[in-house]
């Protein structure tokens, strides 16, 4: 009696485990299902157990597996492996009763039953795991793009410096309208290339733009003229400021980039004619305040499938990359993630599109909560310092020649070397009022040279120039917020505007 009771308890225990397992369990015998648990019924979205048992196993798989093989042929192979080894674990695409295909991890265990073999099948739904793997691959792709863009930006900016700078200097020697028109095209192409490099650089996690607190409403109002010039007179722009103030903390130049990208997309979607409405408001998300910027157009709109892809890097609906790079909206999404903001889009075919950006409101000291944006003026300063002795250190010959030409034409005495080691030796043996140096160079970098000069008592001021990010300065103990730094590419006026205050202080000290 005790033995029978024990056997009954074991059977009850196994039945409870079978029925209450969160994994789907099905039993195959003679090529048919003979039993399944409740989880299998729910996973397959079947009405009841009878419906599952009446279904042939071949009906629960799509025609092809992800590797391109026929499910019927591959299933025979998987069963053969399980019979040979006793058990076999693998991934498989199954199909629910309503036709939805979903990924599972399958465990086949073979149990001999006389002359036959019973196969215990366990399915574990791995849809969530696959989604996480996809997100991880996407994150890894963005990381690779970031690393590539960092090096690409440095090299490409080295090419842009002489292109933009030489075009600028040529303008002083040309008078023919035809020649000046060609020069305009060169400068515009160089500036467009520079903008593209800046977009790529945003994907680098090492990008360290300077954040500040400013009034989002003022920033948008300041850029309305720029947007209007971009889209043309046939597109009307409406601004609805439903909320005042809206202090946010981010890089000020990012607002310009965001608005210009949205405006450019809207212009394309409206085929050059229509209406843009920009609405500013406040909103609460999980108890926290956000500035809400809604950018709507009356363009052709898009379906849900297209709307789900538009924030992916390099995705574009343009017919060629000459018309679009697929980086505009991806750049905005990346900028929003960097400030813990959100971006979404609502659109239907023929009904335009509405992009909503939600940026955390700044909650710091109120006296710092509304710093106005100041437009950058690329003009010569009123005061030009006396001629100075300047050392240029740059490993790129084109950039070095460009820097030397700009400074010599401005009346300064210039010496040029091509790496930090040469720069260190020359600066230790000759007196200079300023050193203009690249950051990344062979033999010895600009920051290494600067640190060694400082340690050896040479207090000459230094202007760093680079197409890389500020992290390379921080590695050598420099704070990018306090040192003199100029990002490539730049014009001659931008360079001179940067060095004149430095030279004033240097010459005054002497």
Residues forming a β-bridge with 290: 283, 360
Task: Tell me the pLDDT tens digit for each residue of 312-324.
Answer: 766 666 544 444 4
Residues 38 and 116 in one domain: yes
Cβ-in-10-Å burial (0-12, 13-18, 19+) of 73 comes to exposed
Q: Is residue 434 part of a domain?
A: yes
Residues 342 and 260 in one domain: yes
**Residue 301 DSSP SS3:** coil
Q: Is residue 457 part of a domain?
A: yes
Q: Averaged over 425-437, what is the pLDDT?
A: 93
Report how far apart, in Å, the C-alpha atoms of 307 and of each of 300, 333, 343 are: 13, 13, 12
Q: How far apart are CA 151 and CA 139, in angstroms?
A: 19
Residues 312 and 339 in one domain: yes
Mean pLDDT, all residues of the chain: 82
Query: Could you identify the residue written with the tokens 């009904």?
Result: 351
Query: Could you identify the residue written with the tokens 């430095």?
Result: 502
Q: pLDDT-derived band of residue 144, with 50, 70 and 90 as boundaries?
A: low
Residues 150 and 80 in one domain: no
CATH number for position 77: 3.30.450.20
Q: pLDDT-derived band of residue 276, with 50, 70 and 90 as boundaries?
A: very high
Domain final position from 108, 125, 142: 125
pLDDT at 14 over 70: yes
Q: Which of 189-193, 249-253, 321-325 has the lowest mean pLDDT?
A: 321-325
Residues 40 and 159 in one domain: no
**Beta strands 274-285 and 288-297, pairing class:** antiparallel
pLDDT at 241 over 70: yes
| CB neighbours of residue 289 within 10 Å | 15
Q: How far apart are CA 308 and CA 312, in angstroms?
A: 9
Q: In terms of residue numbers, what domain contains 437?
A: 389-509
Q: Which of 266-275, 281-290, 432-441, 499-508 has the lowest mean pLDDT?
A: 499-508
pLDDT of residue 368: 36
Q: Is residue 403 part of a domain?
A: yes
Per-residue tokens: 204: 């680098």
pLDDT at 470 over 80: no
Residues 353 and 221 in one domain: yes
**Do the Cβ atoms of 299 and 346 come closer than 8 Å?**
no
pLDDT of residue 292: 94
Q: How far apart are CA 466 and CA 473, in angstroms?
A: 10
Q: pLDDT-derived band of residue 245, with 50, 70 and 90 as boundaries?
A: confident
Q: Is the peptide bond before 345 cis (omega within 30 degrees of 0)?
A: no
pLDDT at 175 over 70: yes
CA-wise closest residue to 198 among 154, 243, 264 = 154
Residues 336 and 419 in one domain: no
One-character DSSP codes across 443-480:
SS-HHHHHHHHHHTT----EEEEESS-THHHHTTT--T
**Residue 496 DSSP SS3:** helix
Q: Averaged over 115-125, what is the pLDDT?
A: 90
**Do the Cβ atoms of 473 and 447 come closer than 8 Å?**
yes
Q: Is residue 10 part of a domain?
A: no
CA-wise closest residue to 254 among 289, 296, 208 = 208
One-character DSSP codes across 126-142:
-HHHHHHHHHHHHHHHH
pLDDT at 199 over 50: yes
**Do the Cβ atoms of 222 and 373 come closer than 8 Å?**
yes
Q: How far apart are CA 339 and CA 357, in angstroms?
A: 11
pLDDT at 307 over 90: no
What is the b/e burial string over 116-134, where b = at least 16 CB atoms within 10 angstroms of the residue's CB? eebbbbbbbbbeeeeeeee
Q: What sign results for the dihedral spanned by CA atoms 155, 202, 258, 369?
A: negative
pLDDT of residue 375: 36
CA-wise closest residue to 344 among 332, 360, 326 = 332
Q: Which of 67-71, 102-106, 155-159, 490-494 has the lowest mean pLDDT?
A: 155-159
Residues 219 and 298 in one domain: yes
pLDDT of residue 110: 93
Residues 105 and 136 in one domain: no
**Do the Cβ atoms of 277 and 238 come closer than 8 Å?**
yes
Rounded percentage of the chain residues whose pLDDT exceeds 70: 82
CA dihedral 188, 193, 198, 201 (to 10 degrees): -170
Q: Is residue 8 part of a domain?
A: no
Residues 273 and 396 in one domain: no
pLDDT at 278 over 90: yes
CATH number for position 339: 3.30.565.10
Q: Is residue 373 part of a domain?
A: no
Query: Could you identify the residue written with the tokens 């009446």?
Result: 54
Residues 102 and 158 in one domain: no
pLDDT at 378 over 50: no
Q: Is residue 381 part of a domain?
A: no
Overall residue count recorded for the chain in this entry: 510
Q: How far apart are CA 304 and CA 484, in angstroms?
A: 48
Residues forming a β-bridge with 357: 293, 343
- Looking at per-residue confidence, does 318 or 28 come out higher? 28
Q: What are phi and psi of 69, to 5 degrees?
A: -85, 150
The structural domain count of the chain equals: 4
pLDDT at 193 over 90: no
Beta strands in 74-175 (DSSP E): 87-95, 101-113, 116-125
**Beta strands 434-438 and 413-417, pairing class:** unpaired
Q: What are phi and psi of 203, to 5 degrees?
A: -75, -15
Domain final position from 368, 397, 424: 368
CATH number for position 156: 1.10.287
Q: Is residue 50 part of a domain?
A: yes
Residues 445 and 482 in one domain: yes
Q: pLDDT-derived band of residue 476, with 50, 70 and 90 as boundaries?
A: low
Q: How far apart are CA 3 and CA 9, in angstroms?
A: 10
pLDDT of residue 5: 60
CATH number for position 413: 3.40.50.2300
Domain final position from 334, 368, 402: 368
3-state helix, strand, coil in the chain (%, to 5): 45, 25, 30
Per-residue tokens: 213: 């607190």
Task: Tell me the pLDDT tens digit for each residue of 45-77.
Answer: 999 999 999 888 888 999 999 999 999 899 989
Q: How far apart are CA 498 and CA 483, in angstroms?
A: 12
Q: What are phi and psi of 117, to 5 degrees?
A: -125, 130
**Beta strands 413-417 and 484-487, pairing class:** unpaired
């Amino acid at each position: 009696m005790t033995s029978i009771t024990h056997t009954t308890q074991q059977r009850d225990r196994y039945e409870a485990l079978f029925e209450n397992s969160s994994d789907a369990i099905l039993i195959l015998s003679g090529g048919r299902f003979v039993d399944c648990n409740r989880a299998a019924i729910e996973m397959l979205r079947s009405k009841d157990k009878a419906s599952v048992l009446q279904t042939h196993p071949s009906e629960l798989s799509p025609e092809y597996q992800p590797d391109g093989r026929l499910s019927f042929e591959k299933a025979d192979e998987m069963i053969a492996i399980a019979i040979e080894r006793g058990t076999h674990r693998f991934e498989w695409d199954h199909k629910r009763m309503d036709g939805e295909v979903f990924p599972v991890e399958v465990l086949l265990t073979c149990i001999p039953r006389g002359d036959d073999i019973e196969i215990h099948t366990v399915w574990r739904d791995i849809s969530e795991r696959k989604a996480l793997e996809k997100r991880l691959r996407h994150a890894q792709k963005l990381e690779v793009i970031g690393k590539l863009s960092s090096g690409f930006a440095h090299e490409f900016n080295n090419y842009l410096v002489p292109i933009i700078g030489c075009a600028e200097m040529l303008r002083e020697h040309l008078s023919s309208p035809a020649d000046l028109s060609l020069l305009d095209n060169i400068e515009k192409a160089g500036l467009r290339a520079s903008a593209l490099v800046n977009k790529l650089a945003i994907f680098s996690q090492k990008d360290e733009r300077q954040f500040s607190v400013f009034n989002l409403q003022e920033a948008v109002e300041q850029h309305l003229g720029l947007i209007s010039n971009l889209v043309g007179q046939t597109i009307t722009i409406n601004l609805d400021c439903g909320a005042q103030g809206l202090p946010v903390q981010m890089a000020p130049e990012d607002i310009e980039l965001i608005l210009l990208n949205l405006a450019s997309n809207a212009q394309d979607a409206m085929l050059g004619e229509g209406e843009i409405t920009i609405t500013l408001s406040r909103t609460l998300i999980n108890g926290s305040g956000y500035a809400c910027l809604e950018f709507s157009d009356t363009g052709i709109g898009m379906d849900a499938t297209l709307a789900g892809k538009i924030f992916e890097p390099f995705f574009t609906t343009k017919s060629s990359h000459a018309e679009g790079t697929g980086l505009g909206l991806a750049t905005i999404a990346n900028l929003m993630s960097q400030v813990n903001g959100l971006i979404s889009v609502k659109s239907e075919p023929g009904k335009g599109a509405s992009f909503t950006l939600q940026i955390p409101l700044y909650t710091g000291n109120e006296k710092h909560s509304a710093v106005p944006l100041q437009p950058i003026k690329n003009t010569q300063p009123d005061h030009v310092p006396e001629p100075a002795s300047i050392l240029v250190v740059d490993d790129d010959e084109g950039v070095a020649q460009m820097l030397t030409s700009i400074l010599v034409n401005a009346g300064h005495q210039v010496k040029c070397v091509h790496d930090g080691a040469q720069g260190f030796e020359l600066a230790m043996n000759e007196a200079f009022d300023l050193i203009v140096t690249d950051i990344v160079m062979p033999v010895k970098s600009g920051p290494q040279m600067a640190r060694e000069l400082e340690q050896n008592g040479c207090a000459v001021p230094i202007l760093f120039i680079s197409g890389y990010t500020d992290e390379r300065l921080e590695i050598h103990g420099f704070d990018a917020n306090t040192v003199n730094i100029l990002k490539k590419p730049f014009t001659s006026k931008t360079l001179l505007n940067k060095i004149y205050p430095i030279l004033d202080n240097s010459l005054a000290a002497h």
